[in-house]
A and B are shown apart, each in its own frame.
Chain A
Amino acid sequence: MIEKLRRNVEDLFENAPKTHRAYELKEELLSNLMDKYNDLVSSGKSEEEAFKSVMSGIGDVDELIKGLKDQDVLNYEEIQKRREKSALVLSVSVGLYIMSVVVLLLFVEVFHANEVVSVCLMLTMDAIATGLIIYNAASRSKYIKADDTIVEEFKEWKSANSKEKEIVKSIKSIVWLIIVALYFIISFTFGIWAFSWIIFIIGAAIEKVISLSFELRKYKNE
Chain B
Amino acid sequence: MSIASDIIRGHTETIILAHLAEKDSYGYEINKSIKEKTNNQYELKEATLYSAFRRLEQGALITSYWGDETTGARRKYYSITSLGRISLTQNKKDWYEAKELIDKLINGGNEND
Contact = CB atoms under 8 A, between A and B. Distances in A.
B46 A58 contact: yes
A29 interface: yes
Given A28-B27, A32-B27, A63 B47 contact: yes
A32 B45 contact: no
B76 A28 contact: yes
B27 A58 contact: no
B50 A36 contact: no
Contacts, number: 60
Majority secondary structure of chain B interface residues (helix, strand, loop or mixed):
helix
B23 interface: no
B73 A31 contact: yes
A137 interface: no
Interface of B: 26-29, 31-32, 43, 45-48, 50-51, 54, 72-76
Identify which of B26, B27, B73 gathers the most chain A CB atoms within 10 Å of its CB.
B73
7 contacts: A27-B76, A32-B31, A58-B45, A59-B45, A59-B46, A63-B51, A64-B51
B102 to A, nearest CB: 28
B72 A39 contact: no
A63 B27 CA distance: 18
A119 B111 CA distance: 97
